[in-house]
Chain A
């Protein structure tokens, strides 16, 4: 019979070995298409249950000025690697135009001044990054529904796609983009913010306008928006998953 300590050593090694094999197995499974498809049923289940337990117009929590973060953190792109963008920034975005088209009856182009003249909304909300941190900021801008009311989406329109000025690859390609559904597009707190904490939106936070979709995570809040398109499906756009991070494996529904 094995000696007590020897037996203990053997079992410890056995356990450590089994653990290492299990871990390597998990990493292998993470690369399997079938397995990750099974895992992603968790996402669709969450999405459906969220719709069940709450109506689509529920409001995100709004905070008081006392809760404001001293400085609003910039994440992802802090200065787009795009000379055309910086040329516009130098003029205070006076020659920037927001193109709104796709499945709409009345495609329009908006200057920053025109957007500012639409009815505006100001809200102090919490920005939750997928990484885990939160920051609280005060945002001002026209609700997206004001813009949609002018361009009149056709009945086929199911998603709103936001095209941004920041390339995500070093070589200046692969521009950031995002998409939301019509429920979120018409939500009262979904705004095109051009002000942060009562000041002109800084470049690090997405000037001239960034999207606020308050019931979803940070990566949905597209910065440096150049163009808005209404589509029936986003399968044909870039990686086909509805957003830059979605194309790399993040959930399209970012309510969790």
Chain B
């Protein structure tokens, strides 16, 4: 490995993210947020999830949110694999804009639009789904053509042997600064690849699986995923896995230098700080 010309400097800037990547990143942030929140509004029209071809096959739902009247007013009851939880105020029953507790799957602050409004939530969802898919296709073509995926995301053989060390480093919040911060670490690469090539295609495919017209293109293809209701459940689970990724991603962004990371995704400039290299969280 060649020593970078300016690595003797205490700190300097590198150009980390190109303009297309930055635009596509923030487009994705907007799309994903709206898709999640409008998706939760759509879910609120039928607050149960099933495995199988239909919802009514003699088996109970795997997840169900209900509002049950009680002496203390409306109670939100969530049933997951037969286990009941009181989730009043958040799931099943929660206060809307007027402060009154009403029957509602996810609370109105998590949904677009705020009130229960299925037709409008669908309009939001399908418009931003198109934007999301087009943005994703642009990202894929761009990063394959410019070799961004091959160069920056592909896990080398050498790196594969460092996975365990990287896990230990992450648990101890030990993050490499300095020259090492120029490259993604191995766990970061695996997380990004998993999101780009597994979770995102899966969430889109499961969205298509819910369309009765797209079902007719190859009748039966939806059964490969267990049927339409399984597809709806998988769509829901993967959406929350993506939320999990976003939480970890934002957490890492914060602890490895919030402003430096944010700047690199806005102006492209990322500061390499050799003064703090290998000293753990700064």
The binding surface of chain B is classed by DSSP as helix
Report A25 CB to chain B, min CB distance, Å: 10
- Does any Cβ of A come within 8 Å of B84's Cβ? no
**Chain B neighbourhood of A149, CB < 8 A:** none
Nearest chain A residue, comparing its CB with the CB of B110? A23
Q: How far is the CA of A249 from the CA of B116 in the complex (A)?
A: 13
- Does any Cβ of A come within 8 Å of B217's Cβ? yes
Q: Are B113 and A42 in contact (CB under 8 A)?
A: no
Q: How far is the CA of A53 from the CA of B109 in the complex (A)?
A: 37
Q: Are A70 and B123 in contact (CB under 8 A)?
A: no
- Does any Cβ of A come within 8 Å of B243's Cβ? no
Most buried by A among B56, B119, B120, B213: B213
**Chain B neighbourhood of A19, CB < 8 A:** 109
- Does any Cβ of A come within 8 Å of B129's Cβ? yes
Q: Are B126 and A256 in contact (CB under 8 A)?
A: yes
Which of A53, A54, A126 is the one whose CB lies under 8 Å from B53? A126
- Does any Cβ of A come within 8 Å of B259's Cβ? no
Total number of residue pairs linking A and B with CB closer than 8 Å? 149
Nearest chain A residue, comparing its CB with the CB of B207? A256
**Chain A neighbourhood of B232, CB < 8 A:** 132
| A114-122, A192-200, A201-209, A212-220 - the one binding chain B | A212-220
Q: How far is the CA of A256 from the CA of B118 in the complex (A)?
A: 13
Nearest chain B residue, comparing its CB with the CB of A53? B217
- Does any Cβ of A come within 8 Å of B54's Cβ? yes
Q: Are B216 and A61 in contact (CB under 8 A)?
A: yes
Which of A20, A136, A249 is the one whose CB lies under 8 Å from B119? A249
Q: How far is the CA of A73 from the CA of B148 in the complex (A)?
A: 51
Q: Are B126 and A214 in contact (CB under 8 A)?
A: no
Which of A42, A50, A128, A216 is the one whose CB lies under 8 Å from B127? A42
Q: Are B126 and A42 in contact (CB under 8 A)?
A: yes
- Does any Cβ of B come within 8 Å of A34's Cβ? no
Give me the interface of A with B, judged by CB distance under 8 Å.
19-20, 23, 26-27, 30, 36, 38-43, 45-46, 50, 53-54, 58-63, 67, 69-73, 126, 128-136, 214-217, 245, 248-251, 254-256
Q: Which 7 A-B pairs have the closest CB atoms?
A: A255-B213, A42-B127, A132-B46, A69-B56, A249-B119, A133-B55, A61-B219
A–B Cβ pairs within 8 angstroms, 17 of them: A30-B124, A36-B120, A36-B123, A42-B123, A43-B126, A54-B216, A58-B216, A59-B219, A128-B210, A129-B46, A132-B43, A134-B228, A135-B54, A135-B56, A216-B213, A255-B212, A256-B214
